[in-house]
């Protein structure tokens, strides 16, 4: 069985949204998914977009995806690659698909001279944490991640 990673195209919109929903179900957050085909078109496939997608296929069938973007480190004076989402269909976990996606992203980061390749994982997601540890990734415990959404975001913007 052959695993291939390719850039996502606008024709992959429904596949991307299916994987987003599947990931949200896995993370017990399905109720938080608001993304529509129009959102995906505008944010991933319009001129000037900053989000990029990958589709992982095995024998021509989409079995996973990743969404990433480039950030910037002032301390390094270099871009970094941030992995927003990575998902492999449960039936294909253990097939090497997740590692192939991460390897592909690492190659992009190296080709783009990124100083970092980063992502977040839920603290209860033991299988993923063990997988990332096995690849040599290190958790960043000294930083606390913050998020602002909804009314709090609008309030600050209007202050």
Q: Across the beta sheet with 61-73, what order do the strands follow?
A: 3-7, 52-58, 61-73, 78-88, 116-119
Whether 132 sits among the annotated catalytic residues: the reply is yes
In this structure, what DSSP letter does residue 45 have? Answer: S
Residue in 26, 82, 132, 146 annotated catalytic: 132
- Residue 15 CB: number of other CB atoms within 10 A? 17
Are the C-beta atoms of residues 76 and 115 closer than 8 Å to each other?
yes
Residues with active-site annotation: 132
């Amino acid at each position: 069985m052959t695993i291939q990673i390719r850039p996502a195209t606008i024709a992959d919109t429904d596949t991307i949204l299916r994987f987003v929903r599947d990931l949200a179900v896995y993370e017990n957050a399905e109720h938080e998914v608001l993304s529509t085909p129009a959102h995906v078109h505008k944010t991933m496939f319009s001129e000037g977009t900053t989000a990029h997608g990958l589709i992982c296929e095995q024998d021509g069938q989409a079995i996973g995806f990743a969404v990433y973007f480039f950030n910037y480190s002032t301390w390094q004076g270099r871009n970094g690659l941030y992995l927003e989402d990575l998902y492999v269909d449960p039936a294909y976990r253990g097939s090497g698909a997740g590692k192939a996606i991460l390897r592909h992203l690492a190659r992009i980061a190296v080709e783009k001279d990124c100083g970092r390749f980063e992502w977040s994982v839920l603290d209860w997601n033991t299988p993923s944490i063990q997988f990332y540890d096995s690849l040599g990734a290190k958790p960043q415990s000294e930083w606390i991640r913050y998020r602002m959404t909804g009314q709090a975001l609008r309030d600050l913007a209007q202050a």
